[in-house]
Amino acid sequence: MTNKNFYNLPLSKEMIQNLNSIGYEFMTPIQEKSLPYTLENKDLIAKAKTGSGKTAAFGITLLDKLNVKKFRIQSMILCPTRELADQVAKELRLIAKFTHNVKITTLCGGVPYKPQVHSLSHQAHIIVGTPGRILKHLSEENFLPNDINTLVLDEADRMLDMGFNDDINSIIDFLPKQRQTLLFSATYPDNINNLSQNIMNNPITVEIDTVHEKSIINQSFYEINKDGEKKDAILKILNNFKPTSTVIFCNTKIACDNLADDFEDFGLDVLVLHSDLEQRDRTECLVLFANKSYPILIATDVAARGLDIDNLDLVINYDLPFDSEVYTHRIGRTARAGKSGNAVSLVGSTDTELFEDIQDYIELNFELKSLKDEKINYDFKLTSEWRTLYINGGKKSKVRAGDILGALTANIGLDKNDIGKIDIMERCSYVAVRTNVVKKALDGLSNGRIKGKYFKIYEK
């Protein structure tokens, strides 16, 4: 295809109008390459980096052929984490606004099981979830898979890394043989190839460039002679860039926790994200970081999968990843939507081979810089323009974003520009407000009502 406009695809007028209304005027490269095949009901293997628009690539396909009047589950999307599943479901609901009464249900671990069983008893059109929880529901016959015509494996490489291979194969045993299967993966190791051969029918393979342009992401590498120098190097880098939003990647959970302890001793506000955290804490962590309430997130690769943050200033590789493709996946979290970004990596004395592999993979050569002559500025601070308030009422209490917005503006007198993202969960809500009005917002909400009710309010 040469024209990237959605009008050139065999889609309904209503879907195209809705895509335009939510900002999907032109196709991204992965959408342009995949949609002509998927809309013809062909199986597809798509290799694309994070932020490429892959959710819309498969979402448009399954919604295009959805029979809304047939109130049965027709599509299943498997994701590695609850965070990604929630993100996918949210985007699908946006795309589905062109038609009425599309029910999309998420089935993930880390949340109560019984409410999911109750929800499934009322049927759905699309289910999005993690393999373990979906398999449990299938095994206990909480829904019938007979009408599923589309299976999507999103971020398949991470699902296999997390040990979901057996669960995925068990799920597929329940599904109709005659179906469309779409596999999306940032990397394409041998285990992905083996999986695709077992579950797909003559798939088309498409790939978009996973190497980021040098002009978009400014990449720097610093030589570290001893592991003990890493913490000081990070502090120097943060002082030099003074970012408002930074993700620091470590290879292990222990490294994340140790680095966070060091930063807190230094007086920096940080969030930590890894798989040892309870699901509620992981969800809250992502909300707080997306709200720009904390300037630094320290994370492992698996836990940060599905992390989609606008205007991320800086990515730091505290540890170089063992896979060069993972490196491009990490740094691709900055410089979204054509914006520029920065990626800084620390290269330890045992990382020479990894550093060379990365250079070969992205076909660029980098000078190893040094920070040893730079002094640490112990007075520097990273401040956040936004803070986040927690409200102990959500969807179960019939709280909507408009209710919170109205309480903050009409009742308390905040300007709408002082209010950021509002996230409504099942039993709680989060709202970002500017730091200079957080006390006014906290006092006002604590002493006032939202939708006629009093709720407990905390600053996070």
Q: What is the CATH number of the domain that holds 45?
A: 3.40.50.300
Say whether both 50 and 199 belong to one domain. yes
Structure tokens at 310: 């606008």
What residues pair up with 343 in beta bridges, in sequence order?
219, 315
| Dist. CA 152–CA 62, nearest whole Å | 9
Say whether both 347 and 404 belong to one domain. no
Say whether both 311 and 447 belong to one domain. no
Check: CB of residue 83 under 8 Å from CB of residue 286.
Answer: yes
Q: Is 146 exposed, middle or buried (0-12, 13-18, 19+ CB in 10 A)?
A: exposed
Residue 380, in any domain of the structure: no
Which of 455, 451, 239, 212 has the alpha carbon at shortest distance from 330? 212
Structure tokens at 432: 């970002």
pLDDT at 2: 43
Last residue of a domain, one of 207, 241, 261: 207
pLDDT at 8: 84
Residue 418, in any domain of the structure: yes
pLDDT at 305: 62
Write the CATH number for 455.
Answer: 3.30.70.330
CB atoms near residue 79 (< 10 Å): 28
pLDDT at 111: 82
290-294: long-range contacts, CB 8 A cutoff, minimum separation 24: 290/421, 291/386, 291/388, 291/420, 291/421, 291/430, 291/432, 292/244, 292/245, 292/384, 292/385, 292/386, 292/420, 292/432, 293/384, 293/386, 293/387, 293/388, 293/432, 293/460, 294/269, 294/270, 294/384
| Dist. CA 385–CA 387, nearest whole Å | 7
Task: Look at the block and give the residue holding tokens 């109560």.
Answer: 112
Say whether both 400 and 315 belong to one domain. no
* Alpha-carbon dihedral angle through residues 298, 301, 306, 312, given to the nearest 10 degrees: 40
Residue 116, in any domain of the structure: yes
For 168: left if phi > 0, alpha if psi spans -120 to 50, otherwise beta; the answer is alpha
Q: pLDDT under 70 in the chain at which residues?
A: 1-3, 49-51, 209-215, 227, 303-310, 335-339
Residue 344, in any domain of the structure: yes
434 is in which domain, residue-wise?
A: 386-459
Say whether both 110 and 176 belong to one domain. yes
Say whether both 53 and 185 belong to one domain. yes
Say how many domains are in the chain.
3
pLDDT at 215: 46
Residue 236, in any domain of the structure: yes
